[in-house]
Structure 1
Amino acid sequence: MKIYLVGGAVRDSLLKLQVTDKDWLVVGSNINEMTKLGYKLVGKDFPVFLHPITHEEYALARTERKLGHGYKGFKYHATSKVTLEEDLLRRDLTINAIAQDHLGNLYDPFNGIQDIKKKVLKHISLSFKDDPLRVLRVARFAAKFAHLNFYIHNSTLDLMKDMCNTQELLYLKPERIWKETSSALNTLNPHVYFEVLRKCGALSILFPEINKLYGVPAPAKWHPEIDTGIHTMMTLKIASQLTNDISVRFASLCHDLGKSLTPKHLWPRHYGHGIAGIPLVKKLCKRLKIPNEIKSLSILAVQTHDLLHNIYEQNPEDILNIYNIIDAWRQPKRVKQIALISESDARGRTMFESINYTQGKYFIEIYKYICKIKTKDIFIKHSNINGLDIKKLIYNERLKLLKKFINLYKIK
């Protein structure tokens, strides 16, 4: 029995990146031997074990053969006779098919180390096309390593395009699509993930709401990049520079979905695109089973993302209404989130990337000032008043403070 460190841990170590998870490969063993040694069997589809002390994952070496569609369409073969090279052969990319033994010796039968040096994402064999999830994985790796200037090998991109021309991507489970997408949203350059999906044809299949934004024009005066799809990617790029919050990043991705539905005879203007985008966000989030917190913020983003742009000219009632729309009183973190989404939208334009978006800071400062009001004290002081009157009283007090803040700001 031999044990090797494999996959991302070896790859990231060679790239001098932080290693967070370790996957181990066991060659020359079987289920009975592993359980006798105290390993806990947890794999449902193939033999995976948890180490009795470290709880890290140990998988038996295996081969696989495609028999049907989707993730369940594989037959796995795991015995003590499966070799290290046979197991590495079934993996997706050469950079993920490097093994390291306990002495630190590296085993690299498919030249993954050379491809790391060349900064190329390249498939190992034609069996790559058997698993449609690999289209998303390669896109995610492209986003993960974009800051290191990795690129996808042309032959691998061609395979991905071929895979998108079949019906295989339709067999992907929503949970698996979202898992890859959320991981991509956590990278430094999540926009690269969606750009790669579009390049190979997967965006129109998995994210048609986003794909339809390409080719939709916007006024050149405000959007020198003109194309709404390009603007969306620029917005996501800015959002990822401003925050690690994937709720904000995903909401920024969705903020202009409604522009694909506005009447073409009105283009390049898109009156009412905010409200029009709400059903599209709901449909997308339902289809991919996206968490409710992210869905809720995305809906609010399409409603409010452009309201902050002219906040200095808005009347106090309209400003206060924004806080009411986002339920800022019960969800205070949304104030900063909406401010970041609005800033991403404003800066996600050619030649506007470096503007000082003071509107977002202004929106946050107003909220802090209004929050001087203690609603609990109002309830105690006016305990004899009914709910509707209390609500109106609180509204008036907040409006009074908001007006005071605006006047003080003007004096400054």
Structure 2
Amino acid sequence: MRIYKVGGAVRDRLLGRPVTDIDWVVVGARAEDMLAQGYRPVGEDFPVFLHPETGEEYALARTERKSGRGYGGFTFFANPDVTLEEDLIRRDLTINAMAEDEHGQVTDPYGGQRDLANRLLRHVAPAFAEDPLRVLRVARFAARYAPLGFSVAAQTLALMRQLAESGELQALTPERSWKEMSRALLEERPDVFIQVLRDCGALQVLLPEVQALFGIPQPAAHHPEIDTGAHILAVLRQCAEQAQPLTVRWACLLHDLGKAQTPAEEWPRHFDHENLGLPLIQAVNQRFKAPRDCQELALLVGQYHTHCHRAQELKASTLLKLLQAFDIYRRPERFDEFLAACEMDARGRLGLERRAYPQADYLRGAAAAARAVPVQPLLAEGFKGAALGEALSLARLKALKTYKQAQGEP
């Protein structure tokens, strides 16, 4: 039995990056040997065991054969005769196909160290094109390592394009797609993730609503970058630079989907794109079974982001409706995320990345004014039920009018 550290732990150590998760592969052993040493089995499709003390995963060296469609369409074969090189060749990228023994000696049969030096994401073998999940994984690695100068090798991008055209991407489950996509959106360059998917044709398959935004013009006065797709990429980059959470990044990715619905003769204006985009946002949410908080914020940002940009122009009654839509009294954090998404939208524009966004503070002040209206005096006056709700709304409306006047707004 020989045990090797494999994959990301080896890659990130060689890159000088923090090593978080460690995967191990065991060569020359049977499942019975692992059980005899106290390892606990967890794998159903192939033999994976948990270390009796550390809880880390140890997998028996294995080979695989394509046996069906999609990410799960593989038959695995593990026995003591499978070599380390045979195990490594089934991995996706050369930089993930290295192993390290207990002495720190690296086994690198497929040129992973060379590709690290050349900053290349390159597939290990032609079998790469058998697994559609690898399209998303490579795009995610591109998003993670873009700040280090990494790019996808041309031959690998060609295989990704082949996968995108094969129909295999449709065999991915929503849960598996969301897992990769959500991780990618939280990387240092989520815009690179979207761009790589676009470069290989996978964006058209997975997110045709986002693909449709590229080539759609916007007014240069508000969007110096012109192209709506380029704007979305810039907004995602702002999200990463400002360390926004997944909910905000997801909402920013989808907030302008309605602009692809504008008739070409109306370009570059996009009248009512906020409402036109809501069915599209809903469709994407459902396609990937996004978590509820991501779904809700995406719909709210899609519908109300232009309200935020025009905050100081809104009448007190419109302000009240906006605050009520977000249920600021019970869910204040969702309104804060909305303001963050709108600020990223405002800054994701060519040459305007560092401009101030006073609308956010203005709306925070409005929310504070509405929340400060006490309920107790109304109860003391005998209001209850629907009448109490109406009286409370009127009191909040009055508070917002007072707030606007204090801010110098009519």
Q: Do structure 1's residue 345 and structure 2's residue 345 form an aligned pair?
A: yes
Aligned partner of residue 216 in structure 1, secondary structure: coil
Aligned partner of residue 175 in structure 1, secondary structure: helix
Deviation at residue 379 of structure 1 after TM alignment: 6.3
Residues 282-327 of structure 1, C-alpha deviations (whole Å, 9 max, x = no match): 1111111111110011000111111111212222221222111122
Question: Where do 1:7-406 residues align within 5 Å?
Answer: 7-375=7-375, 377-378=376-377, 380-382=379-381, 384-406=382-404
Deviation at residue 67 of structure 1 after TM alignment: 2.2
TM-score of the pair, normalised by structure 2: 0.96
What is the letter of the counterpart of residue 197 of structure 2? Answer: L
Aligned partner of residue 45 in structure 1, secondary structure: coil
What is the letter of the counterpart of residue 380 of structure 2? Answer: K
Tell me which stretches of 4 or more aligned residues in structure 1 moved more than 3 Å. none
Write the distance in 1 (CA, Å) between the matches of 2:80 and 2:394: 75
Write the distance in 2 (CA, Å) between the matches of 1:217 and 1:209: 15
Residues 8-60 of structure 1, C-alpha deviations (whole Å, 9 max, x = no match): 11111211222221111111111111112111111111111111121111110
Residues 319-373 of structure 1, C-alpha deviations (whole Å, 9 max, x = no match): 2221111222221012211111111111111122121111112212322343223
Write the distance in 2 (CA, Å) between the matches of 1:402 and 1:44: 59
Aligned partner of residue 24 in structure 2, secondary structure: strand
Identify the range of structure 1 (38-47 vs 388-397) with the bigger mean alpha-carbon deviation. 388-397
Deviation at residue 239 of structure 1 after TM alignment: 2.0
For these two proteins, the number of residue pairs brought into alignment is 409
What is the letter of the counterpart of residue 317 of structure 1? Answer: S
Identify the range of structure 1 (94-103 vs 356-365) with the bigger mean alpha-carbon deviation. 356-365
Write the distance in 1 (CA, Å) between the matches of 2:377 and 2:158: 66
Aligned partner of residue 49 in structure 2, secondary structure: strand
**Counterpart contact for 2:378–2:392, Cα < 8 Å:** no
Deviation at residue 378 of structure 1 after TM alignment: 4.8
**Structure 1 residues 81 and 194, CA, compared in 2 at 3 Å: closer, same or farther?**
same
Write the distance in 2 (CA, Å) between the matches of 1:130 and 1:72: 11
What is the letter of the counterpart of residue 381 of structure 1? Answer: A
**Counterpart contact for 1:121–1:153, Cα < 8 Å:** yes
**Counterpart contact for 1:6–1:100, Cα < 8 Å:** yes
**Counterpart contact for 1:335–1:363, Cα < 8 Å:** no
**Counterpart contact for 2:238–2:348, Cα < 8 Å:** yes
Write the distance in 2 (CA, Å) between the matches of 1:185 and 1:195: 12
Identify the range of structure 1 (29-38 vs 394-403) with the bigger mean alpha-carbon deviation. 394-403
Identify the range of structure 1 (120-129 vs 162-171) with the bigger mean alpha-carbon deviation. 162-171
TM-score of the pair, normalised by structure 1: 0.96
**Counterpart contact for 1:242–1:340, Cα < 8 Å:** no
Write the distance in 1 (CA, Å) between the matches of 2:17 and 2:402: 51
Aligned partner of residue 54 in structure 2, secondary structure: coil
**Counterpart contact for 1:262–1:273, Cα < 8 Å:** yes
Write the distance in 2 (CA, Å) between the matches of 1:184 and 1:381: 53
Aligned partner of residue 279 in structure 1, secondary structure: helix
Residues 129-156 of structure 1, C-alpha deviations (whole Å, 9 max, x = no match): 1111111100000001111111111111
Write the distance in 1 (CA, Å) between the matches of 2:21 and 2:156: 26
Deviation at residue 407 of structure 1 after TM alignment: 2.8
Residues 96-129 of structure 1, C-alpha deviations (whole Å, 9 max, x = no match): 0111111211111112112112111111111111
Deviation at residue 274 of structure 1 after TM alignment: 0.7
Write the distance in 2 (CA, Å) between the matches of 1:295 and 1:185: 15
Q: Do structure 1's residue 409 and structure 2's residue 407 form an aligned pair?
A: yes
Residues 145-177 of structure 1, C-alpha deviations (whole Å, 9 max, x = no match): 111111111111111112212111111111111
**Counterpart contact for 1:378–1:394, Cα < 8 Å:** no
Write the distance in 2 (CA, Å) between the matches of 1:99 and 1:313: 61
**Counterpart contact for 2:379–2:388, Cα < 8 Å:** no
Deviation at residue 226 of structure 1 after TM alignment: 1.5
Aligned partner of residue 407 in structure 2, secondary structure: helix
**Counterpart contact for 2:39–2:52, Cα < 8 Å:** yes
**Counterpart contact for 2:251–2:298, Cα < 8 Å:** yes
What is the letter of the counterpart of residue 342 of structure 1? Answer: C
